[in-house]
Amino acid sequence: MALQKFLDLFESKTKKSRAIWEEARKILPGGVSGSAAYLSPYPVYIDKAEGGKLVDVDGNEYIDLLLGGFPNILGHSPKAIVEVVKMQLERGTNHILFQETGVKLAKKMQQFMPHLEMMRFCNTGSEAIMFALRVARSWTKKVKIAKPEGGYSGQNDYVLVSSISGKTAGPPDRPISVAECAGIPKFIVDNTIIIPWNDINATISILREHADELAAVILEPMQGFGMGDILAEKEYLKAIREVTEEKNILLIYDEIVTGFRLGGLGGAVKYYGVVPDLACYGKPIGGGFPVGAFGGRRNIMERTCSPQADPEFKIFQSGTFTGNPISMVAGLRCLIELETKDYSYIDNLAEKLRGGLLAIAAEQGFEIQVSGVGSMFYIHFNSKPIRNMRDKLRDDVNKNREFSIGMIANEVYLQPLHPGATCFAHTEEDVDQILVVAKKVLKEMRQ
């Protein structure tokens, strides 16, 4: 079986990682400090990362398609960001008070995303989602939220419902809320309404039915980590926008993944031309350091987030590391660098990967779908087109894992069951090598 061959190769090349894992799992569940870092049979431990490459503790060099979960759009440790961070380290690491650089970063984001009339920074994308939902409840005086089946919007309890694992219930056009994992209270599940992705009639019917109790609809314009890079159809987004405006429901975009990737610097609003009330950002806006941001309409943000706001609407939002100077200088430098870049470069690299993977799979007798747009992609071992989570459930996840383990064993880091992405440090030669490895792996899987 090809999987065993791949595992044997992986284990022969990662003996130091294995030894570290044996010690790590005695004190860290799974030997890691976050599930995203786990890999079966054991995780790879990284020694260094530069450009588009990772080097593990055994000295193996990988072409990196995970890119830290996508914040490293410029690649790992770009010199421009490293230099400004070194300078800031000498001026202070964290003092909870704000600084001018954070103001400049906010203005730079607004330059490309005018719908961010006002914004606040926080520490992670999950925090940004949490605060945006709090704002929505304060503004509308309603409690429930709606989200797509299969949509992943971070680790807040209210969005860990019918999310990343593929748990579903009910008919496709009337999904029933399902707790994503243990520890999610029933009252939260009951207050989270699930809508079917890209089904206009069913979604609008559900939103109208619950309009009097819905504070917000939150969605990723491209369903990334949960659904595998499945874009919203434009008419679907427009229909949701229309009903939310009519029924005093806030529309929130989760652009933690797509912001500054989909549609280039303009994100999903530029790509679709459909403007939300609030939007959440992260990843690239920290330049590789922890960050989150949420913002949108001035009247909403000022009335809910200002320290001088009316107590009836004012939310609490703060944090020890919120807007810390390291993340702010790194994020500002990252956006300044991105201004000079031609996004067609990383988009074309990913398009070459998507097309090449499809051609190689067909040549080797595999039916796959390669979804995504711009610089992002996901490989579905699935013979039919995918528009929503129910379609994705037809994926052969065992083949996906086998393929990814084969890629990793051959020094292309493509995390199982996770989207991949290109960055500005990747080269045409990297893409050529990825396709060479993919052909080798699929050939061995076929045999």
Average pLDDT over the chain reads 96
Q: pLDDT by residue (tens digit) across 297-341?
A: 999 999 999 999 999 999 999 999 999 999 999 999 999 999 999
Q: pLDDT by residue (tens digit) across 263-272?
A: 899 999 999 9
pLDDT at 96 over 80: yes
Which string of DSSP letters, residue by residue, matches 210-241? TGGGEEEEEE-SEE-TTTTSEEPPHHHHHHHH
Residues assigned a catalytic role = 152, 254, 283
Q: pLDDT by residue (tens digit) across 373-404?
A: 999 999 999 999 999 999 999 999 999 999 99
Q: pLDDT by residue (tens digit) across 42-77?
A: 999 999 999 999 999 999 999 999 999 999 999 999
Distance, CA of 45 to CA of 33 (rounded, Å): 12
Give domain 2-77+342-446's CATH superfamily.
Aspartate Aminotransferase, domain 1 (3.90.1150.10)
> Is-above-0.85 flag for pTM?
yes
CATH of span 79-339: 3.40.640.10
Which string of DSSP letters, residue by residue, matches 147-216? EETT----S-GGG-BS-TT----S-TTS----BSSTT--HHHHHTEEEE-TT-HHHHHHHHHHTGGGEEE
Q: pLDDT by residue (tens digit) across 416-438?
A: 999 999 999 999 999 999 999 99
Q: How confident is the model at residue 164 (pLDDT cuts 50, 70, 90)?
A: confident
Distance between the two ends of the chain, CA-based, in angstroms?
Answer: 8
Q: pLDDT by residue (tens digit) across 247-280?
A: 999 999 999 999 999 989 999 999 999 999 999 9
pLDDT at 1 over 80: no
Query: Most distant CA pair in the chain: distance in Å?
Result: 68
Q: Which two tokens stand for residue 52?
A: 């588009």
In the DSSP assignment, the letter for residue 76 is B
- The domain limits of the chain are 2-77+342-446, 79-339
Sheet holding 250-254, edge to edge: 118-122, 292-296, 278-282, 250-254, 214-219, 144-148, 192-195
Query: How many other CB atoms are there within 10 angstroms of residue 236's CB atom?
Result: 22
pLDDT at 167 over 90: no
pLDDT computed for residue 48 by the predictor:
97
